[in-house]
Structure 1
Amino acid sequence: MGNQTLTTIAASGTVAINTTTADSTAVLPRPVRRVLQNFLLVWLDANIDESNENFKKPLQCLRRIVSTITTFTDVDECIDFLSGIQNEKVFMIVAGVLGRQIIPDIEACPQLESIYVFCDNQSINEQWTKTVPKVKGVYTQIEPICEALRIDRENCDRAMISISFNGIDALFMYTQLLKETLLDIEDDDAKSIREFVDYCRLQGDIDENHIDKFEREYRLHTPIWWYTGPYFIYSMLNRALRLMDVDIILKMGFFIRHLHQHIETLHREQQSTNTMTSTLFQVFRGQGLSIENFEKMKRTKGGLMSFNNFLSTSCNRNVSLEVFARPAAFAGPHSVGILFVMTINATSCKKSSIAFVDVNKHGQKTLPPNHPDLASSYNNIGSVYDNMGEYSKALSCYERSLEIRKMALPSNHPDLAASYNNIGMVLDNMGEYSKALTWYGRALEVQKATLSPNHPDLATSYENIGVVLDNMGQYVEALSSYERALEIRKIGRPSNHPDLADSYNNIGLVYNNMGEYLKALSSYQRSLDIRKVALPPNHPDLATSYNNIGVVFKNMGEYDKALSLYEQSLEIRKVALPSNHLDFAQSYNNIGSVYKCMDEYLKALSYYEKDLEVSQKALAKNHPDLGKSYNNIGEVYDKMGEYSKALSYYERALEVWKIALPPTHPHITVVNGNIENIKKRL
């Protein structure tokens, strides 16, 4: 994650029972072999032929991500194979026609992690896949599948680690005994490496090039370098520890010992040089967890939980949350996104001989400077900064991602459109509306050249352009853009699809800004009607609809109706969202604004302070939304005649906005005016 993260690894060990996979009865007989990694890739296509040039290139691309690919041309044989998988996660590529046939029979399979539909007609297949959560996307090119698969593979490895929820259970005790035994063994390293390499070749489950590299270069790099690299070591070791596979653990014993010793050595060095100066500090780990394990964890609250492997963490909470935990929450119906917050007491660790180390300078950096994977990493980091409100940093990351993609990809590649879109979004957040409009326009041009005329991504681009035009006060143009998005969605979506509700909501927003409140109410009501049909009764989008209708009534001066709707919105959020969710800040802010309009300043102040409290917990200290909270409180104190307090909050707002926003942003102009007026009264 770059310089902003501190990664730590704590040494641990584990035990195992041997694992087997069901033999396949696909087109050609396949010998039974040991699976050495956490995942399998299955490809179902009636026409697949590995000797055909049309399939050779896609297979080569995929094997750079997952070395072993099991292919099927028959639906029943594929289902039989999937039914026999127990200990691994399955990623599946399926042709569009066969996908419609097989997915209803397999989507409930807990081992099936992700489905990628590979077809010629994207728009037709996107219609039926929208209701299948495990379908990650519909693709007409193999490269985006490879990128999605790479990310899903990394998240799979991260989630499939061994965790004990009881400090005295057999796994925990056996793990400690095995770890001590492995670390005490003194064997011939050269012989152990040779036997390990021969074993990997025999299984046929690992890319031969990676095995050759490990055999040739093992001594040239550190154990941490190998463990953090994009090879098979991380996945193979953690799978063995998760399944207590003693056979593989013993074969990797030399590596476990070397890695543990390397961590201990670096730990002593970093302690002696005061690299880690704090006695007490926090680290974070975001990952997915099965619902079953999540329920176990809840039942053992207050007990001891142990990770039976070498554990990687980060000192950056937002990176762990946004890049790992939050995506895991949407991975499927059987997955829960978890953010582990761990407090490390360095003194206690020293007494118990637990080693941890910052591996930033020792992990692997194998990607060339213009590799597409590096572009994805910059893009992910940019997304984290964007969510934190650190827009300049986000923009820098997105621009670096774009530079790499321009060199590595063709000019009309969808990833370029994604980069243009992300840059436009940050510029919009910064108030650089003209620039944002330019970048959104570039994204739209790429999509027009590569996608069908009614592709959902085009609707999203028209919507993004509408947002900017709305912010610029060009309401007629914004309305036109929103209506174009709605037209596309009407063609590709059923009449009660939530995307249509989003379009009506945006149209209502423009009408509200134009002062055409009855039209705004009509559009918001259509959005609400769809959401009532399509969503459960306490869905957050319903709270948004009630909130927006409340905004219109407030603007119409009907404060009692506005207040009732805001409170209805708040009640849904209390049921549907965690207590520190940012939507609560919006609710408290809006209720406060109504009370301010009603001249009930003490009530307004109370709700504005609740807004600020939630925002301070959920946002970075210089997020522009904090500036809004400070400014609102300042306005109330201004109305109450408490000018010194008002000035203090106005100045706090200005301080935040000077850091977060460009100097010409309207917010800065407003707060400067407030400060100037208040100083005249003091």
Structure 2
Amino acid sequence: MTTLLDQALDRREAGDLDGALALARRAQARAAGSGGFAEALLVQGRLHLDRAELAEAERTLLHALRTSGGDTVVHLHARNALGDVHRAGGRYEEAAALFRETVALAETERGPDSVEVAEALNGLGVTGKYSGDFATAEAVYLRALAILERTLGAEHPDVAGVQHNLGGLAHARGDYAAAEGPARRAVEIRERALGPGHPDVAADRAALAPILDALDRPQEAESLLRQSLAAFEQCYGPGHPEVAVTLHNLAAIAQRRDPAEAESLYRRAIASKEDHFGPDHPDLAVSLNNLALVRNERGDDGEALELLERAIGILVPAVDSCHPTLDACRDNAERLRTARARTEMAG
């Protein structure tokens, strides 16, 4: 018999987040006072996270933790989802600490090769990638991948999720040839499992695209990004962070042929990120850096330097001191200051 939560998860898989959330709320109302109450809250929390509603996701997941009682599986999944919320909000140290605690707890409660351990390891890996701890990220991704392949099989969508993340890590390191394989594998697995129009497949395509662009295949990259943008806008609406990231990556391709188009796309991406995350989220920095380069190219080194200084101010308290985006922002700012000083001396 299909439950309301099963129906909610089916709606989520189909990309209907509004319908899924309505069903999850009905399930919560029916489960009041029963063991299914915390599980319904967990599903709602994940849906709020999907919708980039971080404050509501955190509130709901904390409620799930408080009411999970002896349901260890729900408790662990809620902890992992809460770690995702912390990371999405730029709270990397808090996220990493929670994921590490959850790995240890899941190993004790569910065993070292459990899906719950793999989920926490994957969350820790994503956090490490964003904060610049690439060595830890790679190690925990590989352990998570091995667990999931043994437990769920090599063609499971959760395996695709870790392949996606391994590709993203190699891309962040600048090893584009190594990045293409796992990123493309993620697309292939999830297309077969979920269908080509699913938002998770769109996310995989969007992650593969900048890798292909870095490998000097911009037309293929742009085609993937436009497919992803259409899917994200249909599923999430125009202001979702996935839309913002896709706009940013389209801007990076446009930057080489049409700086005016690139500037427009970068500004749309920044506005979307600010709308959802506020003005000081670390995800803003790479878009601010790239927009600065465009403004400099178009002759406005004053705004370019302001954008870079803002990006540096955002990143310094949030990431490792040797994070590549922080290094790039500092290098670009120093280059602009040097150029301006030379111009002033010559004048």
SS in 1 for 2:166: helix
CA distance in 1, matches of 2:180, 2:327: 31
Which of these residues, 117, 120, 125, is aligned with residue 458 of structure 1? 117
CA positional deviation for 1:446: 0.9
How has the CA–CA distance of structure 1 residues 526 and 653 changed in structure 2, closer, same or farther, with 3 Å as cutoff?
A: closer
SS of the counterpart of 2:102?
helix
TM-score, length of structure 1 as denominator length:
0.39
Q: Are the equivalent residues in 2 in contact too, given 1:566–1:591 (CA < 8 A)?
A: yes
Pick from 255, 258, 262 the counterpart of residue 604 of structure 1: 262
Aligned partner (choices 16, 20, 24) of residue 331 of structure 1: 24
* 1:111-140 deviations in Å (ceiling 9; x for gaps): x645xxxxxxxxxxxxxxxxx44689xxxx
Counterparts in 2 of 1:443 and 1:618: CA distance versus 1, 3 Å: closer
Q: What is residue 204 of structure 2 aligned with on the other side?
A: 545
* Cα separation, 2, equivalents of 1:523 and 1:477: 18
User: Do the aligned residues in 2 keep the contact of 1:430 with 1:661 (CA within 8 Å)?
Assistant: no
Q: Secondary structure at the match of 2:24?
A: coil
Does the CA-based 8 Å contact 1:531-1:542 persist in structure 2? yes
Within the candidate set 434, 441, 456, 2:100 is matched to 441
Amino acid at match of 1:638: N
1:573 paired with 2:232, answer yes
Q: Deviations over 1:547-579 (max 9, x none)?
A: 222111122233333223322322433444423
Post-superposition shift, 1:509?
A: 2.3
Q: Using structure 2 for the length normalisation, give the TM-score.
A: 0.69
Alpha-carbon distance in structure 2 between the residues aligned to 1:624 and 1:473: 12
Higher strand content, 1 or 2: 1
Q: Amino acid of the residue matched to residue 300 of structure 2?
A: E
Residue deviations 1:450-492, cap 9 Å, x none? 1145432122012122223434655555334223322332344
Does the C-alpha gap of structure 1 residues 537 and 641 become closer, same or farther in structure 2, counting only changes over 3 Å?
same
CA contact under 8 A between 2:8 and 2:19: conserved in structure 1?
no
Partner amino acid, structure 2, of 1:610: R
C-alpha contact 2:250 2:265 (8 A) present in aligned 1: yes
Q: Which amino acid aligns with 1:528?
A: V
| Aligned CA distance change for structure 1 residues 466 and 639 (closer, same or farther; 3 Å) | same
Question: Is residue 335 of structure 2 the alignment partner of residue 642 of structure 1?
Answer: no
- Give the CA RMSD over aligned residues: 4.7
Give 2:288's aligned residue: 630
Q: 1:427-506 maps to which residues of 2 (within 5 A)?
A: 428=87, 436-471=95-130, 475=134, 477-493=136-152, 496-506=155-165
Amino acid at match of 1:328: L
Q: Number of residues paired by the alignment?
A: 318
Match of 1:369 in 2: none
Bigger RCO (CA 8 Å, 6+ sep):
1
Residues 336-369 of structure 1, C-alpha deviation per residue, up to 9 Å, x if partnerless?
xxxxxxxxxxxxxxxxxxxxxxxxxxxxxxxxxx
8 Å CA contact retained: 1:521, 1:549: yes
Q: How far off its partner does 1:443 sit?
A: 0.8
Could you say if the C-alpha distance between residues 635 and 423 of structure 1 is closer, same or farther in structure 2, counting changes exceeding 3 Å? same
Q: Higher Cα Rg: structure 1 or 2? A: 1
Paired amino acid for 1:643: D
Q: Could you tell me how far apart the structure 1 residues matched to 2:209 and 2:154 are?
A: 25
Q: Deviations over 1:184-220 (max 9, x none)?
A: xxxxxxxxxxxxxxxxxxxxxxxxxxxxxxxxxxxxx
1:624-645 Cα offsets, whole Å, 9 max, x none, are 4345433332221123331123
Give, in whole Å, the separation in 2 of the partners of 1:605 and 1:430.
25
* In structure 2, distance between residues paired with 1:388 and 1:133: 22
**Structure 1 residues 624 and 477: CA distance shift in structure 2, 3 A:** closer
Distance 1:479 1:622 in 2: 27
Alpha-carbon shift at residue 589 of structure 1 (Å): 0.6
Q: Which runs of 5+ in 2 are unaligned?
A: 11-16, 28-37, 342-347
Q: Which amino acid aligns with 2:293?
A: E
Q: Contact 1:624–1:661 at 8 Å: present in 2 too? A: no
Query: Measured at CA, do residues 134 and 491 of structure 1 come closer, stay the same or move farther in structure 2, by a change above 3 Å?
Result: farther
DSSP 3-state at the match of 1:331: helix
CA offsets 1:91-117 (integer angstroms, 9 cap, x no match): xxxxxxxxxxxx2xxx2xxxx645xxx
Inter-partner Cα distance in structure 1 for 2:252 and 2:24: 38
Identity of aligned residues (%): 22
Q: Say if 1:558 and 1:436 are closer, same or farther in 2 by CA, change over 3 A.
A: same
1:193-208 aligned within 5 A: none
Render the CA deviation track for 1:639-677: whole Å, top value 9, x for unaligned.
Answer: 33311232343355456x28x954876566654554454
Query: Structure 1, unaligned stretches of length 5 or more?
Result: 1-102, 115-131, 137-321, 336-372
Cross-structure match for 2:35: none
- 1:427 and 1:579 mapped to 2: Cα distance? 23
Read off the aligned partner of 1:486 and give its amino acid letter: L
- Are the aligned partners of 1:538 and 1:575 in contact in 2 as well (CA < 8 Å)? no
Distance 1:541 1:401, change over 3 A: closer
SS of residue matched to 2:296: helix
Counterpart mapping for 1:176-325 below 5 A: none
* Counterpart residue type for residue 589 of structure 1: H
What is the distance in 1 between the residues matched to 2:76 and 2:146?
21
CA distance, structure 2, for counterparts of residue 614 and residue 432 of structure 1: 19
Report which of the two has the higher share of helix.
2
Contact 2:138 / 2:166 at 8 angstroms: preserved in 1? yes
Alignment of 1:520 with 2:213, yes or no, is no
Alpha-carbon distance between aligned partners in 2 of 1:496 and 1:415, rounded to the nearest angstrom: 25
How far apart in 1 are the matches of 2:113 and 2:76?
Answer: 16
